[in-house]
A and B are shown apart, each in its own frame.
Chain A
């Protein structure tokens, strides 16, 4: 072979190019072989392209499949219990009474309390890393450590919370005159608050770094102090981005299962205060799914999963939309 393109790699010999005499039978065989090979490659190429498309379709089908499975499996409970299931105040599977309100309330209380506790910290990290010290080894260390907070498995947070945090909370509760139980919504909010810091912090940091410097320089030129620049230029400019980060944190907090299950106390009674034990949607599913012996019971739990799925999807989508709009501006 003189000069040929063989399977995509080029081999070259020192002999000069030879004009192939297409009349000789040997050359005809060679040419047909080449044509066949090209056809084979085109076929493989098409198969490969189709495989890629199938992979794309698989991703879409996966999400549709999750949604459909949840809907189909929760149909028995939707039919039997109707929409009043969502604000039913009693959950008593033994008596066949199913009301999701205690879990909705537990989820909302623990998540929003966690958000409230974590916001000052995550915004502080975002401002510190985004504005005060964007470069250097100490901020780098802080950034990486904060990201590691998200890496710790939630079951370890739960175990630590159970062994360390719950006794501390119990102690505190007996000091402020609440019934000292330790486990409960407050404990799970504390754990959740730690776990969700990195999400808002890292997003907030990148948003703050995107503030155009002419804006900041203008404010400095007018005699503004560092804090005044942050308050009246950076925060207003990144408002929507910070909000998106907080939304993503909220999405995490709503769906978090293991850490919450381990410290929330797992009772299906409507919590009377933030120190009372309770249950979230995710934790009740984790606790009772394998025990559910009746089909309505099981499908009531799945309906909780469906609600959880829809809520987190909506929250995440709003967050993503805000981020997209912010980064495109």
Chain B
């Protein structure tokens, strides 16, 4: 074998290694660009006034996003109240009944649910709640978001509980504990970190969702805390104001984007840190 061809092959190999590295790190560039740009455009808009006031009509400068902040929090809390118990119990069911026929269909449904486009969930929530109740409402938005939270919670609960050793459960049964106590006093407390990180990931995911809210929570220029009425939320405000032709509204949207971005990134990074601390596998 001649030396030239060996050198060529080694050169080719390192060439591809460098190319891979360059391409891999190039992925980070857009994210940094977005972070940089949003911080640059949003940081000057944020002050106390911005957080406690509601938006002003076009033409008046100032105004804030208090209605969107309050609305986002209410919608997310209601969605979590709906989705967390159902999700955890369904996850427990899947972990406890691994082979049954219903478990197979349930698992398949969760997989399907995970891939459903968010806009489709918006349509469905519109027909399930908005039409029967006779108007857009924050509650229907919460239900749409709850449907999006479910697959993440179910999956993380199931995966966490599957990893727990059977001996834990057997020890509890041997002491004469009934099934529900074994679940609530032994299994869930041991797996709480995994379940919790699933819940937090699902909240992080729905915080930025806009599409399911378009035909459900709909948005509201005023501060509202009534869940049966339309309600503003951060992503809806960003969408409506970003696509408007007015500069004042763009400013509001930049400030809101910065807050939303940091909220979501904080939730994600925090979840990563607790999963690493508790060595949970998701």
Query: Which residues of A approach B to under 8 Å, CB–CB?
Result: 5, 7-8, 10, 41-42, 44-45, 48-49, 51-53, 55-60, 62-63, 65-66, 69-70, 73, 120-122, 124-125, 127-129, 132, 142, 144-149, 151-160, 162-164, 194, 197, 201, 225-228, 230, 251, 254-258, 262, 282, 285-286, 289-290, 302, 305, 308-309, 312-313, 315-317, 320
Verify if B84 is at the interface (C-beta below 8 Å from A): no
Q: What is the CA–CA distance of A121 and B272 in the complex, to the nearest angstrom?
A: 24
| Majority SS at the chain B contact face | helix
Inter-chain residue pair count (beta carbon < 8 A): 258
Q: Are A228 and B177 in contact (CB under 8 A)?
A: no
Q: List 5 A-B contacts (CB under 8 A).
A: A70-B120, A152-B261, A162-B243, A286-B214, A309-B116
The 9 closest A-B pairs by CB, nearest first: A153-B208, A255-B117, A124-B23, A316-B115, A225-B13, A48-B180, A227-B13, A128-B24, A52-B93
- A-side contacts of B243, CB under 8 Å: 162, 262
Knowing A56-B102, A57-B102, A257-B119 are in contact, say whether A128-B20 is a contact too (CB < 8 A).
yes
Q: Which of A8, A132, A153, A160 contacts B235 (CB 8 A)?
A: A153
With a cutoff of 8 Å between Cβ atoms, the chain A residues found around residue B22 in the complex are 124
Contact B239 A144 (CB under 8 A): no
Q: Which stretch (B30-38, B57-65, B162-170, B220-228) binds chain A?
A: B30-38
Instruction: Closest A residue to B180 by CB, please name it.
Output: A48
- Tell whether, in the assembled complex, residue B17 and residue A45 are in contact, meaning their CB atoms are under 8 Å apart: no
Distance (Å) between the CB of B49 and the closest chain A CB?
A: 22
Stretch at the interface among B73-81, B104-112, B188-196: B104-112
In the complex, what's the smallest C-beta–C-beta distance from A177 to chain B, in angstroms? Answer: 26
Residues of B within 8 A of A122 (CB): 27
Interface residue B268 (Cβ < 8 Å from any Cβ of A): yes
Are A44 and B128 in touch, CB under 8 angstroms? no
A316 touches B257 (CB 8 A): no
- With an 8 Å Cβ cutoff, the count of chain B residues facing the other chain is 93
B246 within 8 A of partner (CB): no
A255 touches B242 (CB 8 A): no
Instruction: Mark B residues whose CB is within 8 Å of A.
Output: 9-10, 12-17, 19-28, 30-31, 33-34, 37-38, 41, 86, 89-90, 92-94, 96-97, 102-103, 105-106, 109-121, 123-124, 126-128, 147, 150, 154, 175-181, 183, 185, 204-205, 207-211, 214-215, 218, 235, 238-239, 242-243, 250, 253-254, 257, 260-261, 264-265, 268-269, 272
Cβ A197 vs Cβ B27 within 8 A: yes
Choose one: B20, B105, B121; the contact of A127 (CB below 8 Å): B20
CA distance A122 to B179 in the complex (A): 45
- Let me know if B28 and A145 touch, CB within 8 A: yes
Chain B residues lying within 8 Å of A257, measured Cβ to Cβ, are 117-119, 210-211
A48-B180, A53-B102, A59-B150 are known; give 13 further A-B pairs, CB within 8 A.
A5-B175, A55-B90, A56-B97, A63-B113, A128-B20, A151-B205, A151-B265, A152-B208, A153-B208, A154-B211, A227-B9, A308-B120, A316-B112
User: How far apart are the CA atoms of A44 and B178 in the complex, in Å?
Assistant: 9
Report whether B268 and A48 are in contact in the complex, using a CB–CB cutoff of 8 Å: no
| Distance in angstroms between the alpha carbons of A59 and B119 in the assembled complex | 19
Give the residue name and chain of the A residue nearest to B91 (CB): A55
Q: How far is the CA of A308 from the CA of B123 in the complex (A)?
A: 12
